[in-house]
Structure 1
């Protein structure tokens, strides 16, 4: 194999693959008339990224991912030439040479691409996913709560929860398709960060994939059966409050400084306003009142401040509607005027001390 590639483009492709694959993974580089392909896989995951290149001699090699990524990051050059030299892959520059050992083909299994079932706009998908995946647990013994459920029909629905909150986003598909999978949230978020333009959704037995021009990821899926907003009772709403999400978030940040260690704040609902108040023996006390449209009863829930801020951040720049249920039932947050992406955020209340 002998190929010349833009150093920054190749570095971006190798780094993207490295972030998705295990630390000791191998990368397979394949050069042909179409350019250079960077690919890697383990038993559960397959990644593939394209890079423009001038191929002098076709070929395919496997090399260690980590040293290749680190070397490319530190290069201060526009182009790099990759040449197989015996049992090494050499990275040649005008004034330097770096050589990596070639690995056996068995270190890099062949790509697997499940069938495409539909397509979605990449920007819209990534934006919705950032919000939804933020509610997934980062480290939980139950894999169910570390994933994002993707369900497709006429629309694409994304769902995630860490048991204290749940976010559900509904966004348009470019074509109808059948899909119901649970994908690890961290992997899906990193993949969506790389995706550009139209993103293909792929599904096969026990597998899910995302593809876009120049990139593909395929992964084994988790059990999606139990993660559903249908399991959350929402028929007991007795208070509805509508106000500016940014104004409420700013008030939560200010008043939260004076809250006790758990940072639990109560939204005291009045006829035309909500009041936030907190006190702490060593820092003092604070209260702030905001105008709001209020209907129904006067149920006043308490929330952990950081969870409430996460929920309000999802509605930045909008007016948000809080549908409040009595007792320890979930509060439902929605945009007062939903846009292309319909987002619903379920937030569990806390016991006020």
Structure 2
């Protein structure tokens, strides 16, 4: 194999593949008339990224991912010559040469292409996913709480995630009709969507899900999606509706939260035309702040964990947010006052105030 490629473009492809794959996974570089392809796989995951290149000699080689990624990151934007020299893969520049060991060739059965079921705008998808995936658990003995449920049907894509204490549901338009219902590991899906550009294809097959875009492909095994559902959260007992500026409320939460106890729980006292945030800590004192708001329904005083409330409000930055408050320990439902291209619903469980 002998190929010349821009070092920064090759670095981006190698880094993207390395972030998605488990540590110590080898990368396969393949050069042909179309350019250079960086690929890797394990039993659950397949990734492929294309890199523009001038191919002098076709070929394919496997190399360790970590040293290749670290070396390329330091080379800048100049062209790099990537050539097999015996048992080494050499990276050649005008004044430097770096050589990595060529790993034994492993005969792999080609990954079956997952059929594409629909398409979505990549930027809108990544923006919605960033919010929804933030409510998934980072580590949980029940895998369903570490995933994002991806459902397609009736012309829209629905993304759902929850860590038991909160749930986010985003609905966005599909570019083409299709049917899909899978639960995908949240961290993997977020990283894959971050790499995607332009129109993103949604793929599905038995036990697998995939994303594709111009120059990239990620396919993964899926989790059991059956139990993660918005319908499982009662939301029909709303007795108080509060509408106010999300950024103003978030700023007040940050200030008042300084005085909260170790659990960082704040009380939101709803009045006739305002809401009052209050917290107290025995060793530092107490704080309260009042914000104007549009209020309808009964008066109530739910309490929330500050960081969860901030996460929820962050999804509505720059907007007015509607808080539909239910009595007792039922979820508070947050939505934007004016729905945009993405319809987001955020469920936040209240906390018991001390």
What TM bracket, shorter-length normalisation? over 0.9
Task: Tell me which residue corresponds to 1:251.
Answer: 252
CA contact (8 A) 2:116 2:203 kept: yes
TM-score under structure 2 normalisation? 0.98
Q: CA RMSD in A?
A: 1.1
1:270-306 superposed Cα distances (whole Å, 9 cap, x missing partner): 1111111111122111111111111111122100000
Equivalent residues in 2 for 1:35-54, closer than 5 Å:
35-54=35-54
Task: Tell me which residue corresponds to 1:223.
Answer: 224
Equivalent residues in 2 for 1:5-20, closer than 5 Å:
5-20=5-20
Task: Report the secondary structure of 1:254's partner residue.
Answer: helix
1:99-134 superposed Cα distances (whole Å, 9 cap, x missing partner): 222223327663443110000000000000000000
Deviation of the 1:62 alpha carbon: 1.0
Task: Report the secondary structure of 1:135's partner residue.
Answer: coil
1:128-157 superposed Cα distances (whole Å, 9 cap, x missing partner): 000000000001111100000000012000
Equivalent residues in 2 for 1:29-178, closer than 5 Å:
29-76=29-76, 78-106=78-106, 110-153=110-153, 154-178=155-179
Task: Tell me which residue corresponds to 2:182.
Answer: 181
1:143-200 superposed Cα distances (whole Å, 9 cap, x missing partner): 1000000000120000000000000000000011110000000000100110000000
- Alignment length (residue pairs): 353
In structure 2, C-alpha distance between the alignment counterparts of 1:345 and 1:195, rounded to whole Å: 25
Task: Tell me which residue corresponds to 2:268.
Answer: 267
Of the structure 1 ranges 164-173 and 67-76, higher mean CA displacement relative to structure 2 is found in 67-76
In structure 1, C-alpha distance between the alignment counterparts of 2:94 and 2:5, rounded to whole Å: 14
In structure 1, C-alpha distance between the alignment counterparts of 2:332 and 2:281, rounded to whole Å: 26
Task: Report the secondary structure of 2:290's partner residue.
Answer: strand
CA contact (8 A) 2:131 2:168 kept: yes
In structure 1, C-alpha distance between the alignment counterparts of 2:104 and 2:150, rounded to whole Å: 36
In structure 2, C-alpha distance between the alignment counterparts of 1:344 and 1:77, rounded to whole Å: 43
Task: Tell me which residue corresponds to 1:308.
Answer: 309
TM-score under structure 1 normalisation? 0.98
CA contact (8 A) 1:167 1:346 kept: yes
Task: Report the secondary structure of 1:261's partner residue.
Answer: coil
In structure 2, C-alpha distance between the alignment counterparts of 1:103 and 1:81, rounded to whole Å: 19
In structure 2, C-alpha distance between the alignment counterparts of 1:277 and 1:266, rounded to whole Å: 5
Task: Report the secondary structure of 1:24's partner residue.
Answer: coil
CA contact (8 A) 2:158 2:169 kept: yes
CA contact (8 A) 1:210 1:218 kept: yes
- In structure 2, the CA distance between the partners of 1:56 and 1:161, relative to structure 1 (3 Å rule), is same
CA contact (8 A) 1:160 1:227 kept: yes
1:192-243 superposed Cα distances (whole Å, 9 cap, x missing partner): 1100000000000000000000000000000000000100001111111111
Q: Which consecutive aligned stretches of 4+ in structure 1 deviate over 4 angstroms post-superposition?
A: none
In structure 1, C-alpha distance between the alignment counterparts of 2:55 and 2:293, rounded to whole Å: 64
Task: Tell me which residue corresponds to 1:194.
Answer: 195
- In structure 2, the CA distance between the partners of 1:19 and 1:108, relative to structure 1 (3 Å rule), is farther
Task: Report the secondary structure of 2:4's partner residue.
Answer: strand
Task: Tell me which residue corresponds to 1:346.
Answer: 347
Q: Which runs of 5 or more structure 1 residues have no equivalent in the other structure?
A: none
Task: Report the secondary structure of 2:329's partner residue.
Answer: coil
In structure 2, C-alpha distance between the alignment counterparts of 1:244 and 1:82, rounded to whole Å: 54
